[in-house]
């Protein structure tokens, strides 16, 4: 079932200008594209919301929030390619709006990190962004199950057998991590339930 398209709760963290207004409108339109089922404005809103209890862990919360806006702004279901194109979009659009070079580079770097959700120890900004992006794993089972169904719909072009094998591999890889979340706050909020949810979905795949 398609998630409802919700208007993101946070503003785009740029100085007020016609360029910033136009960029926000463009990003919302991208996240609302009709082919999306999970990577929708509802997901964007959820990530932006999840960042807030973690923001104290970030070195640059502004860069993290902007990276959330861009992290799947380009989405065609092509792992790695989507994140790279999204990072390139961030570089072009933020520079055009006059964002400082350092901020532009950091936002693009963080967007690229979301391709694998792996980063160096001590990378606080990446930890906050990835924890927020994966917060859906630690929700109530009904919400998690809706997420899993939406992901399947985004890969509806993949035959069931291939999807189940690929999805099982992803779930095992996540469960093999010492921690799913890189911040102490993220682990306290979502770790235990996320492992229960992942284990439950893996069992359902056979």
Buried b (16+ CB within 10 A) or exposed e, 2-36: ebeeeebeeebbbeeeebbeebeeebbebbeeeeb
Contact criterion met (CB below 8 Å) for 16 and 54: no
Distance CA 195, CA 11 (A): 32
Query: From the DSSP assignment, how many helices (H) and strands (E) are in the chain?
Result: 10, 0
- Locate tokens 């960029």: which residue? 23
The pTM (predicted TM-score) of the whole model is: 0.92
pLDDT tens readout for residues 66-83: 999 999 999 998 889 999
pLDDT tens readout for residues 107-143: 999 999 999 999 999 999 999 999 999 999 999 999 9
């Amino acid at each position: 079932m398609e998630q409802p398209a919700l208007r993101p709760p946070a503003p785009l963290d740029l100085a007020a200008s016609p360029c910033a207004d136009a960029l926000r409108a463009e990003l919302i339109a991208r996240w609302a594209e009709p082919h999306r089922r999970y990577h929708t404005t509802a997901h964007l809103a959820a990530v932006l919301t999840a960042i807030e209890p973690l923001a104290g862990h970030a070195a640059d919360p502004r860069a993290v929030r902007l990276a959330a806006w861009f992290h799947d702004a380009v989405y065609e279901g092509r792992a790695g390619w989507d994140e790279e194109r999204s990072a390139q979009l961030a570089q072009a659009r933020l520079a055009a709006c006059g964002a400082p070079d350092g901020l532009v580079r950091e936002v693009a770097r963080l967007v690229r990190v979301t391709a694998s959700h792996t980063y160096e120890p001590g990378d606080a900004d990446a930890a906050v962004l990835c924890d927020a992006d994966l917060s859906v794993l630690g929700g109530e089972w009904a919400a998690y199950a809706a997420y899993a169904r939406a992901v399947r719909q985004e890969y509806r072009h993949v035959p069931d057998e291939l999807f189940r094998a690929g999805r099982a591999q992803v779930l095992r890889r996540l469960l093999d991590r010492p921690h799913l979340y890189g911040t102490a706050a993220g682990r306290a909020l979502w770790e235990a339930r996320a492992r229960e949810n992942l284990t439950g979905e893996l069992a359902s795949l056979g």
